[in-house]
Amino acid sequence: MNASPEMVREVFARVLEKQVFLFAEDLDTAELPESGEWVEARMYFHGPFGGSLSLALPKEAQLEIAANFLGKDADDPDVAKCAEDSLKEILNVACGHMLTALAGEEPVFDLSIPKVHALSLGDRNALAALPGTLGFDVEGRPALLRFQSIEAGNP
Amino acid sequence: MAYNILVVDDSETVRAVIAKAIEMSGAGVKALFTAANGQEALDILGREWVDLVFADINMPVMGGVEMVKRMKADADMKEIPVVIVSTEGSATRIKGLMESGVRAFLRKPFTPEGLKTTIDGIMGK
């Protein structure tokens, strides 16, 4: 089942706004900075169809999400400690809502626990170049989001 | 009225956020307990007075569904209301949760106001 880019964009922006009070606008995936440390969070889903959702962004954006998630200043020691968990939670919530938007409320999906890893600039550029990867400007910081679905029974 | 509330989630961050939302909601809290999974929650429920439980579904060791099942089989715990807090959007699965004894379902992301409405609805305000 194919997810429209408009749906993925709308759901991600809504979750980001409601959960961490950050606003996301469209960004051309060719307009990414050529420096900085990036991380990627990825999770998988299985049900009537399967697939994955991944979110890549600079570490500073990850800290900003965690700070807003906790309602603390970005330099609070708790923020760095919870940065990975916060990113996982945003991805998890976005994935749940995208699946409902795509498949409705009847199908049951199992979601994996998201994992976070460092992303080299080379791998980030490769992700940005993939068809279906969407770019976002999250209040001045770039982010990449990729929702990929595979029909059950298809490899 | 102030309540003893137990928050069950494997993420320390999510536990902190739910605890903060409960505080911001204005719902009276006498004591707030936290647990990282269903088994830890059952241990707390076995030794503390708890009025209301907020729990995730997917957790290592013991998830929320199994935790509710064990609570319903325990004479001392079966009447304690459980609210599932999750990203789950499947009406089929939510119906199954409610049939297993879950009192309410709160979908993430939620607001302190939504949380307060849920607490009031269960605790009879």
Cis before residue B81, ω within 30 degrees of 0? no
Neighbouring C-beta atoms of residue B79, cutoff 10 Å: 9
Confidence of residue B43 (pLDDT cuts 50, 70, 90): very high
- The pLDDT value given to residue A155: 44
Comparing CA positions, the residue from B21, B86, B28, B81 lying closest to residue B59 is B86
Residue of A nearest to B16 (CA): A70
On average, the pLDDT of chain B sits at 93
Cβ of A105 and B11 within 8 Å? no
What pLDDT is recorded for position B110? 87
Indicate the pLDDT class of residue B74, thresholds 50, 70 and 90: very high
pLDDT at position B45, please? 98
Q: What is the ipTM of this complex?
A: 0.81
Tell me if A66 and B13 make a contact (CB, 8 A cut-off). Answer: yes
pLDDT tens-digit profile, chain A (155 residues): 778 999 999 999 999 999 999 999 999 999 899 889 999 999 999 999 999 999 999 999 999 999 999 888 988 998 999 999 999 999 999 999 999 999 999 999 999 989 999 999 999 999 999 999 999 999 999 999 999 998 765 44
* Among B12, B20, B37, residue whose Cα is nearest residue A85: B12
Reading the block at residue B37, the tokens are 């999974």
Spell out which chain B residues touch chain A, with contact meaning CB-CB distance below 8 angstroms: 11-14, 16-17, 20, 58, 86-93, 107-109, 111
- Interface list for chain A against chain B, based on CB atoms closer than 8 Å: 15, 18-19, 66, 69-71, 78, 82, 85-86, 88-89, 92-93, 95-97, 99-100, 105-109, 111, 113
Treating both helix axes as pointing N-terminal to C-terminal, what angle do B38-47 and B64-72 enclose, rounded to 10 degrees?
A: 30
Alpha helices in A2-76 (DSSP H): 5-20, 59-70
Rounded to the nearest angstrom, the minimum Cα separation between A31 and chain B is 30
pLDDT at B125 exceeding the cut of 70: no
Which chain B positions have a beta carbon within 8 Å of A13's beta carbon?
Answer: none
